[in-house]
């Protein structure tokens, strides 16, 4: 019985230590992520990124429909063979 209680105490100690290390690590990780976010915001104010506007052209839907219809016809024809 003494061996069982010793094992339970050791297991509880290892569990608490493990949970403590994970909690400390996650706390440090959240703090570092917060600091890095603030640093990136400051750097973006100092060195702003140039915004490149892309010009979009409207594609012809009829051409795409013809290609899709052709692909469907070819697949259907091959499935009959």
pLDDT one-digit tens code per residue, 54-65 = 887 766 666 678
Q: How many domains does the chain have?
A: 1
Is the Cα dihedral 13, 15, 18, 21 positive or negative? negative
How many residues are present in the chain? 81
Instruction: Return the closest-CA partner of residue 7 out of 23, 22, 15, 19.
Output: 15
Query: How far apart, in whole angstroms, are the C-alpha atoms of residue 56 and residue 15?
Result: 58
- Answer yes or no: is 21 within a domain: yes
- Domain limits at 16? 1-48
- Answer yes or no: is 66 within a domain: no
- Answer yes or no: is 74 within a domain: no
- Answer yes or no: is 75 within a domain: no
What does the pLDDT look like over 16-55, one tens digit per residue? Answer: 999 999 999 999 999 999 999 999 999 999 988 888 888 8
- pLDDT, the chain, mean: 89
């Amino acid at each position: 019985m003494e061996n069982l209680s010793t094992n339970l105490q050791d297991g509880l100690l290892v569990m608490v230590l493990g949970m403590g290390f994970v909690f400390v690590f996650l706390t440090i990780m959240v703090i570092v992520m917060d600091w890095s976010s603030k640093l990136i915001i400051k750097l973006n104010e100092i060195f702003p990124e140039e915004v490149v506007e892309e010009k979009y052209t409207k594609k012809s839907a009829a051409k795409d429909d013809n290609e899709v219809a052709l692909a469907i016809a070819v697949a259907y024809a091959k499935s009959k063979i």
